[in-house]
Amino acid sequence: MNSDNVLSADNQQERPKIQPWYVAGFVDGEGTFHIAINKSKENRFGLRFIPEFHINQNSPSKDVLEDIMSLFGCGYIKQNHKTSIRDKTWVYVVRNRNDLLNIIIPFFDAHPLRTQKQKDFLLFKRVASMMSGNEHHKKNGIKKIISLAYNMNQAGRYRKVSKQHIIELLESSETIRQTRCE
């Protein structure tokens, strides 16, 4: 048998289990880049930002998530809504900022998405970069991050809290902080 034959058994075993172009296409359909915004008493301005990359998949296809996690070498897989009897989906999640900056973002820079998610990715990348520069600890940086986060994922259509409410939380925490310092 010719050793140059790419279909030989030896070559198939040497290939990675999943190809980068497949992952990029899969994420175009099933992935999300998201900036979670939570109230936090520990943070100076009362808000905490959590950049997250995740991919959802129904239970019978959980192995694809395992393959993707293996390719990236980071993150974790969990039940999407483990308290729900009807939701049988699993989710692959990467929240660690170093993993996002050093693995996930460079991967999607090298393998660009082809749908609207490319725009979301670019906004996500910008927020991650801002957070790396500690902009999330400055009032102007926080406002910019909120604005970028609410421009992602169909302009924040699925967010439970309005952008205006988040801005009001920021302003009220700043007023409380200033009052305490005077």
Each residue's pLDDT tens digit, 29-61: 999 999 998 888 887 788 899 999 999 999 888
Alpha carbon 64 to its chain's center: 18
Domain ranges of the chain: 14-181
What's the mean pLDDT when you consider all of the chain?
Answer: 84
- Topology classification of domain 14-181: Endonuclease I-creI (3.10.28)
Between the CA atoms of 166, 171, 176 and 182, what dihedral angle is there, to the nearest 10 degrees?
160
The least confident of 10-14, 135-139, 153-157 is 10-14
Do 92 and 54 contact (CB within 8 A), yes or no?
A: yes
According to DSSP, the β-strands at 89-94 and 47-58 are antiparallel
Res 104 pLDDT > 70? yes
127/51 Cα distance (integer angstroms): 8
The pLDDT value recorded for residue 156 is 64
108/76 Cα distance (integer angstroms): 19
The pLDDT value recorded for residue 78 is 94
Residue of 36, 32, 39 lying closest to 51 (CA atoms): 36
% residues pLDDT > 70 (the chain): 83
145/119 Cα distance (integer angstroms): 15
